[in-house]
Amino acid sequence: MDNKLTTSKMLKKCLSLVIVCTIPILILFLISIFIKKPLGNAIIYASIVILAAGIFLFQLYELRCIICTVIDKSPFIEKNIKRFKNIGNCTFLLGIFNILNNQHPKHFLIIIDLGFFSIDNSIFIYIILGCLSLILAEIFKAALKIKNENDLTI
């Protein structure tokens, strides 16, 4: 089996797993918000969390669509250009959320807080950028293969 195919399929499965796992975690997180906060604050806080999580899930979905085209050996299509632009715009939005979160004294988008250890919304940016880098590596590998085949034909 081709190594590129193995990496791509593994990344597709990982993205699918993260998408599926994010939804129940989001639901549990939203429930905990309404338990811990007054109703007015909980609604605002939950809206922000849903928006940030929606952006993150959309990016994961777009990445998964791109990796599917890599697996099908057709990554150089118009839809992928639009997908990359969508991912870039969403990453900027998550960056803005991160800036706003850091300005707030209580960091309103902390996902896990154990006192001695916490994870905030910036983890989304790193996950997306890591997946994006892996996908671009696969696309460049496919481009190099096509270039080498074209060099041999000339």
In a domain, 80, yes or no: yes
Between residues 85 and 106, which one has the greater pLDDT?
Answer: 85
Residues 15, 21, 22, 23, Cα dihedral to 10°: 120
Question: What tens digit of pLDDT does each residue of 23-38 get?
Answer: 888 888 888 888 887 8
> DSSP character for 76?
-
Split into its structural domains, the chain has a count of: 1
119 phi, psi to nearest 5 deg: -125, 125
Domain carrying residue 115: 3-147
Please give the average per-residue pLDDT across 89-97, as a whole number: 86
pLDDT band at 86 (very low <50, low <70, confident <90, very high): very high
pTM: 0.79
Are 22 and 56 spatial neighbours (Cβ–Cβ below 8 Å)?
yes
Residues 26 and 49: their CA atoms lie apart, in Å, by: 8
154 within a domain of the structure (yes/no): no
Q: Is residue 152 part of a domain?
A: no
* 153 belongs to a structural domain: no
